[in-house]
Amino acid sequence: MKVYKPPSKQLIKGFERECNRASAWLDKADDLLFSSKILCDNCGFLTTRPDDVFAGDARILWVINMLRAMAIENLFKGVWLRSGEILAEDGSFKGIPGASNHKLLSLAEKVAEKIEFNFSKEEYILLDRLSYCIVFGRYPVQKNWSIGQGIPHPTGSSGLPGYQWSLPRDEILVESIIGKLRRAYNWSGIETGAHLKR
């Protein structure tokens, strides 16, 4: 049986079209945030320990924050596209020039050259901390033992980002960052899973 294979030009155009479509990045952010919410709702510790620094079972917190961080990365990329820029060209993903993928602080700084977010100092610190969750949520270690050491915590302490999660402060900061990114995209009215109903 012969399998139909579309011409490579069509595949390249389709790849570029999808990669440069802001709503594709926002839909994926929505999926990731919805998944993190399911984990939060099922573990309960993020809502039952007010005014506390959570240092308990960090395994689930790493995964929750990995999903949130990846969603925030997708939101930055969607906002970048919305500002008139592109992410793919000539059949390749180029990313945001001058920014490092998976490094939310780097992405924030580059995208802020196009759109003002008015992130607070604490939000910038949290973006830096969340970047490390992208790795620690998937792998047991970083590429080097010193990566992630001494990252500042909004409460003034330091340490690996997933081992200290200040409640409710860090939860409020995550929601604020996501809200600012959605407003930058003019995307505040989309309900969770709306892209699945289209």
Tell me the per-residue pLDDT of 119-130, one tens digit each, with 9 for 90 and over.
999 999 899 889
CB contact set of 90 (below 8 Å; sequence gap of 6+): 12
Domain definitions of the chain by residue range: 25-197
Confidence of residue 3 (pLDDT cuts 50, 70, 90): confident
Question: Residue 54: which region, alpha, beta or left (left: phi > 0; alpha: psi -120 to 50)?
Answer: beta
Read off the pLDDT of residues 49-102 as tens digits, 9 standing for 90 and up: 555 555 455 578 889 999 999 999 999 999 999 999 999 999 999 999 999 989
Give the model's pLDDT for residue 33: 97
pLDDT of residue 121: 92
Q: Tell me how far the alpha carbon of residue 188 is from its chain's centroid.
A: 17
The overall pTM is greater than 0.85: no
Residue type, 102: H
Question: CA quadruple 176, 178, 184, 186: dihedral positive or negative?
Answer: negative
pLDDT at 198: 32
Using CA atoms, how far residue 10 sits from 5, 14, 24, in Å, is: 10, 6, 19
Region 133-140 average pLDDT: 83
